[in-house]
Amino acid sequence: MTSRSPAALVSTVVLAVVLLAAAVQVQAARERAYPPGEASEDTLYIRSGSALRRLSGAYNGLFADMYWIRAVQYYGGLKLQLDARGAQPGMLEPPAAIAADAFPALYPLLDITTTLDPRFNIAYRFGSVFLAEAYPRGANRPDLAIALLEKGLRESPDKWQYMQDIAFVYYWFQHDYLSASRWFQKAADVPGAPWFLRSLAATTLEQGGDRQSSKAMWTMILQTAEVDWMRKDAQRRLLQLQALDVIDALQRAVTDYSQRTGTRADWPALIGARVLRGVPLDPTGVPFTLSDGRVQLSRSSTLWPPPEEPSARGSATP
Amino acid sequence: MRATAAIAISVFRESVRDKVFYNLVLFSLLMIGSSFLIGQLTAGQDVKIIKDLGLAATSMFGLFLSVFIGIGLVSKEVERRSIYSLIAKPITRAQLVLGKYCGLALTLAANMAVMAVALYAVLAYLAWGVPESTRAVWDAPALDPALMKAMLLIFAELMLVIALALFFSTFSSPMLSAALTFGLYVVGHFSGDLRNFQQVVDSPVAAAFARGLYWVLPNLAQFDVKSDVVHGVSVPAGYMALTGVYAATYIAMLLAIASLVFSRRDFK
């Protein structure tokens, strides 16, 4: 059998496959005996975007993409973990310290991404949402969301979308309607910006914080969303607001029933009294809960937690 | 002229025989694999990321090809002693250098042409079936002809890198030639730092020296318009033309020196 014969070829291939399979088995055995450590997602060996920009030379764009993918994976992975933790009873409300720093590496990752590629539009827009969202859906850091968007504006001063996003963060997460109105106005003043920004600026100033203006804002975001993810988020927000309308109506019925009968209301009692036809469902089809006379979204609903609705208008200045 | 063309074609054939084009298979696999994976890994921006990846891979693969083949163009002939039969022929040493250079440039051009087609094919696949509303928010269309501007400047940059590699290979060992070429490639991308050196040092002499280096060393940063093109920022024709002329002038200078050094080299 010479080294060029077909038999030699077959035996070499078989030997290679067997050896590879053996190597895989040995590795698996080693991992069972000595489990490898968990990779730490929030380890950032280089925290300086400027240093990375220099190191990446002619490949800034590619490095920015890698950091963007890392930011998305980090956010998504951690959110899944938090969701899983939140699904356990008693774990939904996090300790304040955890809630304030639930995504510690998120801002550095986004900062590096946008330093490597200062025109990375979606990193500013998505990133600000990830940062501003309340725990457990986000980092609960609207201040950093605004800082990120302002960084984007320094690079592209005419980007009305970033101004609109800043206004949105002030409106929705900071409840600072005066600042929100000012940023909507700034965005509206940019040539080429859509007409509705001007009316949003006026509505926010006049009726900031009321549910109707929130609905108008989310409807506008739904109509102008650039990507599917933003569209779905806007749809979810609108469903939440719709659920709040239903909760208000149900709460009135519950209070009325309790006052009339002098008893604490529950769903079977209300159905029995023909106040309701059945257990009321939220827009996603999950039953509302009624405990201690209060109608609420179920914690198992995808609409949980409901948006915070301030009773008084904020007035902090930017 | 005919002798130069004959040498160039022979270099091209040799690179085909050396299976240089296998890198295209790797490039295609990288692009196709990425187009499937990127969508799973990130939220939006698939087209931007594929453009970044395609242009960066074109530049990187081209760089390795230029350096590792460029440094061997002359030294291999010397090592194999085939240089004796070559210089015995009725061709000048300058023709030999120029022919070798053109041959590798031809190989690089063929490589990059295939890579460009592969990149456009992957982008066409990604853009296929995407609704108009989504396309409207892309910084630039998926099949943006402006991508060719970035490709052209990458090609011009790599032509300069080949000239550098060939220049070094006329008087030094392959290892040293590779190190020097890569070194100049890196320095060439930091030219902005050399230009603004006075901002970080107090010494006017050091600042003047750095500024002198800025003008003398090849400025490769100007060939990098990948980010502009990906974000749909216009690259003016005047910029393209001036950068192209800079590359041609610098290459001519390097080839002239390389020919001179090579013609004075003693092969006894």
pLDDT of res. A90: 42
Contact B227/B150 with Cβ under 8 angstroms?
no
Inform me whether the pLDDT recorded for A317 exceeds 50: no
Structure tokens at A211: 């549910």
Dihedral in degrees, nearest 10, Cα atoms A84, A89, A95, A99: 30
pLDDT, average across residues A37-53: 68
In the numeric block, which tokens belong to residue A127?
């990133």
Q: Residues of chain A with pLDDT > 70: what percent? A: 85
Is residue B210 within 8 Å of B197, Cβ to Cβ?
yes
pLDDT (tens digit, 9 = 90+) per residue, A222-260?
877 766 777 788 888 889 888 988 898 889 888 888 888
The verdict on a CB contact (< 8 Å) between B221 and A58 is yes
- Interface confidence (ipTM) of the complex: 0.78
pLDDT (0 to 100) of residue A148 = 95
Contact A162, A149 (CB under 8 A): yes
Contact B244, B156 (CB under 8 A): yes
Could you tell me if residue B197 is inside a domain?
no
| Higher pLDDT pick, A149 / A48 | A149
**pLDDT at residue number B256:** 92
* A 26-85 near B (Cβ less than 8 A): 54, 57-62, 64-65, 68-69, 72-73
> How sure is the predictor about A313, in pLDDT bands with cuts at 50, 70 and 90?
very low
How many A×B Cβ pairs under 8 Å? 63
Region A160-164 average pLDDT: 92
Residues of A within 8 A of B43 (CB-CB) are: 72, 122, 126, 227, 229
Average pLDDT over residues A75-103: 63
- Alpha helices per DSSP H over B71-203: 72-79, 83-87, 93-127, 132-136, 147-169, 174-188, 191-195
Tell me which chain A residues have a C-beta less than 8 angstroms from the C-beta of B134.
Answer: 226-227
Residue B75 half-sphere exposure toward CB, CA atoms < 13 A: 20
Q: What is the pLDDT of residue B145?
A: 92
Q: Is the peptide bond before A305 cis (omega within 30 degrees of 0)?
A: yes
Is pLDDT above 90 for B238?
yes
Helix (H) or strand (E) holding B173: none
Which residue matches tokens 């890392």?
A70
Q: What's the pLDDT band for A315 if we cut at 50, 70, 90?
A: very low
Of A20-24, A74-78, A278-282, A286-290, the least confident: A74-78
Residue A72 to residue B158: CA distance in whole angstroms: 34
pLDDT band for position B247 (50/70/90)?
A: very high
CA B58 remoteness from chain centre: 9
If one counts the domains in chain B, the total is 1
Nearest to A239 by CA among A265, A255, A258, A215: A215
Q: Where is B20: in which H helix or E strand? A: none
Kindly state the average pLDDT of the residues A297-309.
80
Q: How many CB atoms lie within 10 A of CB A40?
A: 8
Residue B80 placed within a domain: yes
Residues A157-184 have a mean pLDDT of 90
Please determine, for residue A130, whether its predicted confidence score (pLDDT) is greater than 80: yes
* Separation between Cα atoms, residue B27 and residue A291, nearest integer Å: 62
Mean pLDDT of A180-203: 86
Does B214 map to a domain?
no
Give the model's confidence band at A89: pLDDT under 50 very low, under 70 low, under 90 confident, else very high: very low
Do residues A227 and B133 touch, judged by C-beta distance below 8 A? no
Q: Is the pLDDT of residue A310 over 60?
A: no
| Inside any domain, residue B243 | yes
% chain B with pLDDT above 70 = 97
| pLDDT greater than 60 at residue B225 | yes
Which of residues 204 through 263 in chain A touch B, CB cutoff 8 A?
Answer: 226-229
Q: What is the dihedral of CA B122, B124, B128, B131, to 10 degrees?
A: 110
Q: Is the pLDDT of residue B4 over 90?
A: no
Domain membership flag for residue B177: yes
pLDDT bracket for residue A309 (50, 70, 90) = low
Q: Which residues contact A221 (CB under 8 A, 6 or more apart)?
A: A168, A230, A234, A237
Do B134 and A227 make contact, defined as CB atoms within 8 angstroms?
A: yes
Say whether pLDDT at A318 is over 70: no
Q: Say what the pLDDT of residue A88 is.
A: 47
B14 touches chain A (CB under 8 A): no
Q: Contact B195/B211 with Cβ under 8 angstroms?
A: yes
Report the alpha-carbon distance of residue A123 to residue B214 in Å, rounded. Answer: 34
Q: What is the pLDDT of residues B17-62, one digit of tens each?
A: 877 777 777 877 787 777 777 766 766 678 888 899 889 989 998 9
Task: State the pLDDT confidence band at B150, using cuts at 50, 70 and 90.
Answer: very high
Contacts of B56 in chain A (CB under 8 A): 58-59, 61-62
Per-domain residue ranges of chain A: 49-209
CATH of domain A49-209: 1.25.40.10
Among A57, A62, A73, beta carbon nearest to B186: A57
Mean pLDDT of chain B: 86
Whether pLDDT at B266 is above 60: yes
The predicted structure's pLDDT at residue A42: 59
Q: What is the pLDDT of residue A94?
A: 53
| Rounded Cα gap, residues B134 and A228, in angstroms | 9
Assign B214 a pLDDT band (cuts: 50, 70, 90): confident
Distance from CA of A190 to the nearest CA of B (A): 18
Per the model's pLDDT, the better-predicted residue between B111 and A318 turns out to be: B111
In DSSP terms, which residues pair with A289 in a beta bridge?
A: A296
User: What average pLDDT is seen over chain A?
Assistant: 81
Hey, are the CB atoms on B44 and A227 less than 8 Å from each other? yes
pLDDT greater than 90 at residue A162: yes
8 Å CB contact of B52 and A64: yes
Between B152 and A268, name the one with better pLDDT: B152
- Give chain B positions within 8 Å (CB) of A125: none
Give the DSSP per-residue string, chain A: --TTSHHHHHHHHHHHHHHHHHHHHHHHHHHHHSPPPPP-TT--S---HHHHHHHTGGGHHHHHHHHHHHHHHHHHHHHHHHHHHHTSTT-SS--HHHHHTSSTTHHHHHHHHHHHSTT-HHHHHHHHHHHHSPTTTS---HHHHHHHHHHHHHH-TT-HHHHHHHHHHIIIII--HHHHHHHHHHHHHSTT--THHHHHHHHHHHHTTSHHHHHHHHHHHHHH-SSHHHHHHHHHHHHHHHHHHHHHHHHHHHHHHHHHHSS---HHHHHHTTS-SS--B-TTSPBPEEETTEEE--TTSTTPSPPP--SS------
Residue A209 confidence class, pLDDT cut points 50, 70, 90? low
Structure tokens at B108: 């690089």
| CA–CA gap between residue B100 and residue B104 (Å, rounded) | 6
Write the CB contacts of A309 (distance below 8 Å, at least 6 apart in sequence): A209, A211, A244
pLDDT at position B49 is 87
Q: Are A299 and A311 in contact (CB under 8 A)?
A: no
| pLDDT of amino acid B181 | 94
- In the predicted model, is pLDDT for residue A285 greater than 80? yes
Name which of A57, A119, A122 is nearest B189 (Cβ-Cβ).
Answer: A57
Asked if pLDDT for residue A74 goes beyond 80, the answer is yes
Give the domain extent around B138.
2-189+224-263
Q: Do B42 and A57 touch (CB under 8 A)?
A: no
pTM here is 0.75
Under a CB-based contact definition with an 8 Å cutoff, are residues A183 and A150 in contact?
Answer: no
Q: Running DSSP on this structure, what letter comes out for residue B211?
A: H
